[in-house]
Structure 1
Amino acid sequence: MSRPDVVVGVSGGVDSSVAALLLVQQGLDVAGLFMQNWADDGSGHCRAEDDRRDAVAVCGRLGIPFHFRDFSAEYWQGVFEHFLAEYAAGRTPNPDVLCNREVKFKHFLDAARELGAGRIATGHYARVEQSGGRWRLLRGADRGKDQSYFLHQLGQVQLAATMFPIGHLEKSQLRRIARESGLPTHAKKDSTGICFIGERDFRQFLGQYLPAREGEIRDPHGQPIGRHPGVFYFTLGQREGLNIGGVRGRPAAPWYVVGKDVAANILYVDQGHDSPWLQSSRLRSEAMHWIAGGAPAATFTCTAQTRYRQPDEPCRVSVGDDGTVQVQFERPQRAVTPGQSLVLYDGPECLGGAVIAATDAALEQRAPWPVSLERQA
């Protein structure tokens, strides 16, 4: 069997299908590889087998070899155990970021090299280019689909070996190409949510691994409002699932999660989507990963995202000696959540990112902020 030029991660979705098609049309020797990252738990919610059949059909249509690898053990150790530990600590993790770093651009890349390929390709909406002797990760052309936020943990070694064939396309263009080319996935719906949960109830799923411990819901001033089934089921800014009825002396307005005290098992809520208790102007990160290998400067301005599909937010960044960063936003941000990812950008270029450790939101019980990040006049 000949060695392929590039191995495409075929997921059974339309994005990776078109990625493979475009590489074939470029005249490259292409092979497809399907990754199973979650073992079927018998719930009936795992669609891996359906996706695998679709991936096989796409490879058959394109006339390229199909390969399969089971990375479920690696996913459990590298992604899922961290996911559970973060929720148990009351934080809200982002498993897609770890999946890309630990599985898709690590074990998948190793598997592709074992097959003799020099490069891998995926159906991510992002772009990669070489400039000035280094590799740059750029946003996808379709800003509404851009996935560079989830790829910010990649480095020079991974980017040098990676192709994003659909990064220059709008989603509508991609669907048209898939349809006109007769790809069997051309009308398949995009997958949403966390892959290993599927369509099932999130609280029910998490309860299999983290036993529920009922506790008190209070307002920010400590007044009892209701009861909750477990603080780790909720995230900042969340409205659904609180089951707070009419509260005497309070207006008939929605309640939102504004804070969590994991040690005391207390969930804090307030009324109003833009409650002042949800606002923060500063954050501190864990150790940053810089795509270029280092920070652009000790202090610099750029834009940031603290959640996926968030508009660019101007900010000032100060890099600490310990590798963490302190970020001061130009305007207050809503529901910046520890455990989620801070990702920094210079125009379309993704500079890197890190896990959010703490913010200056009113209910945060964290270490004091350094004088250098006091609000500027």
Structure 2
Amino acid sequence: MKKRVVLGMSGGVDSSVSAVILKEAGYDVVGIFMKNWDEKDEDGVCTATEDYEDVRRVADQLGIPYYTVNFEKEYWDRVFSYFLDEYNKGRTPNPDVMCNQEIKFNAFLDYALKLDADYIAMGHYARVEERDGKFYLLRGVDNNKDQTYFLSRIGQKALSKSLFPIGELEKSKVREIAEKNELYTAKKKDSTGVCFIGERDFDAFLDKYLLSKKGDMINVDTGKKISQHHGLYHYTLGQRKGIGIGGVGSGEPWFVVGKDLKKNLLYVAQGEQHEALYSTSLIGEAPAWTLDEEPVFPLHCTAKFRYRQQDIPVTVHKMEDGNIHIVYDNPVKAVTPGQVAVLYDADICLGSSIIKSIEPVNSKYKYLNPTF
């Protein structure tokens, strides 16, 4: 009897090719389109409707059944509310990480198991390997597309039931398979941005849900007002573009280096190498481990503090309150509270924590991150 795989289909080429690979491997494949958000873009078009049509076309081409499951309430309660709350705290969250933790590998998994699925599958560039009864999350073969950063908070229950059919492939090979099978999505461009924002203006989107309050922009070197900001949640640590300071000082670019929520102040510094941009360590809260068990501390490993970043050697210590202290071998630029610190042992993704605060290179800038 064939093993049943419930495949999350987004209407993109990656999940479409995943369906091809699973079917060729002899699985009983059922396609599921997850409806997590319902809103039209500026042209009055609901992109979810378009994506579902692409799922329908590909499923019909391959002769597999397909269904839609509505997770809008779960998404709002578990992901979008978290997203808004983090911005209200002055932090910059990563909702895609939470979507995987709470929806794709939690609510979706529970739904699939009710359909008597043996496995779930996703079109992520990642791999799962079983070793002595434990399931390890490994980087995808295509280093440029590896998505373990976004999967770093899922544990053994999900990993033991998850297949990543394209994890062993380069993106070019995925496109090649799609064209060979004449899939409708073969030439469809990759989606960008957060799923509920997509290609729209990010600041305008936030203004629909959060109260924007203008305030002073302060030069960290002089302590004096240099300009006005348009609401603290519109800015993130390390940001260069969109600050609105030109022709001031040395002519070098300005960067966001801190926020004061109580006084509604935004701190900025001039110069690519300004020391206020750099930190030596961070405190990470809510650590989650892919093996469902803590590693041995102190832990020497590598870390990423944003998706496209190169691995950074670090040492991780456990704190008495359950948080972790991640100390970098060398100072790192623009580490951002609210983002995710993901830990690796070579190709193995160990887990992650949410960046709570950072320790500046120079202690005189501690006021920029008062929670450290």
> TM-score range with shorter-chain normalisation?
over 0.9
- Taking the aligned partners of 1:58 and 1:156, their CA distance within structure 2 comes to 31
Which residue is equivalent to 1:237?
Answer: 238
Tell me, yes or no, if structure 1 residue 86 matches structure 2 residue 89: no
Deviation at 1:281, TM superposition (A): 1.0
- Taking the aligned partners of 1:317 and 1:65, their CA distance within structure 2 comes to 46
Q: Is the 8 A contact 1:3 1:117 kept in 2?
A: no
Which residue is equivalent to 1:348?
Answer: 347
Q: RMSD of the alignment, in Å?
A: 1.5
User: Does the residue aligned with 1:194 lie in a helix, a strand or coil?
Assistant: coil
State percent identity of aligned pairs: 48
Deviation at 1:296, TM superposition (A): 1.9
CA distances 1:281-316 after superposition (whole Å, capped 9, x unpaired):
111110211111222202120000111021110011
- Taking the aligned partners of 2:277 and 2:45, their CA distance within structure 1 comes to 34
Amino acid at match of 1:223: K
Tell me, yes or no, if structure 1 residue 365 matches structure 2 residue 369: yes
Which residue is equivalent to 2:299?
Answer: 300
TM-score, with normalisation over the residues of structure 2? Answer: 0.95
Q: Is the 8 A contact 1:285 1:342 kept in 2?
A: yes
CA distances 1:325-374 after superposition (whole Å, capped 9, x unpaired):
11111111111011000110000000000101111023433356xxxxxx
Deviation at 1:133, TM superposition (A): 2.1
Q: Is the 8 A contact 1:237 1:273 kept in 2?
A: no
- Taking the aligned partners of 1:175 and 1:273, their CA distance within structure 2 comes to 38
Q: Is the 8 A contact 1:58 1:184 kept in 2?
A: yes
Which residue is equivalent to 2:284?
Answer: 285
User: Does the residue aligned with 1:344 lie in a helix, a strand or coil?
Assistant: strand
- Taking the aligned partners of 1:46 and 1:82, their CA distance within structure 2 comes to 23
Tell me, yes or no, if structure 1 residue 52 matches structure 2 residue 52: yes
CA distances 1:89-140 after superposition (whole Å, capped 9, x unpaired):
1000000011001110111112212222121000000000101221100000
Q: Is the 8 A contact 2:95 2:194 kept in 1?
A: yes
- Taking the aligned partners of 2:314 and 2:126, their CA distance within structure 1 comes to 23
- Taking the aligned partners of 2:136 and 2:41, their CA distance within structure 1 comes to 42
Which residue is equivalent to 2:140?
Answer: 140
Which residue is equivalent to 2:264?
Answer: 265
Which residue is equivalent to 1:23?
Answer: 22
The 5 Å alignment of 1:34-73 reads: 34-41=33-40, 43=42, 44=44, 46-73=46-73
- Taking the aligned partners of 2:303 and 2:104, their CA distance within structure 1 comes to 24
- Taking the aligned partners of 1:323 and 1:121, their CA distance within structure 2 comes to 32
- Taking the aligned partners of 1:269 and 1:45, their CA distance within structure 2 comes to 39
Q: Is the 8 A contact 2:303 2:313 kept in 1?
A: yes
- Taking the aligned partners of 2:150 and 2:71, their CA distance within structure 1 comes to 19
Which residue is equivalent to 2:315?
Answer: 316
Tell me, yes or no, if structure 1 residue 101 matches structure 2 residue 83: no
Amino acid at match of 1:75: Y
- Taking the aligned partners of 2:35 and 2:232, their CA distance within structure 1 comes to 31
The 5 Å alignment of 1:197-236 reads: 197-221=197-221, 222-236=223-237
Q: Is the 8 A contact 1:119 1:161 kept in 2?
A: yes
Deviation at 1:45, TM superposition (A): 6.2
User: Does the residue aligned with 2:79 lie in a helix, a strand or coil?
Assistant: helix
Which residue is equivalent to 1:332?
Answer: 331
Tell me, yes or no, if structure 1 residue 251 matches structure 2 residue 250: yes
- Taking the aligned partners of 2:281 and 2:85, their CA distance within structure 1 comes to 25
TM-score, with normalisation over the residues of structure 1? Answer: 0.94
Structure 1 residues 216 and 367, CA, compared in 2 at 3 Å: closer, same or farther? closer
Amino acid at match of 2:172: S
Instruction: Structure 2: state its 5+ residue gaps.
Output: none
CA distances 1:160-190 after superposition (whole Å, capped 9, x unpaired):
1100000000001111111111111010000
CA distances 1:15-53 after superposition (whole Å, capped 9, x unpaired):
000111100000111110000110125643641111100
* Mean CA deviation greater in 319-328 or 125-134: 319-328
- Taking the aligned partners of 2:38 and 2:163, their CA distance within structure 1 comes to 28
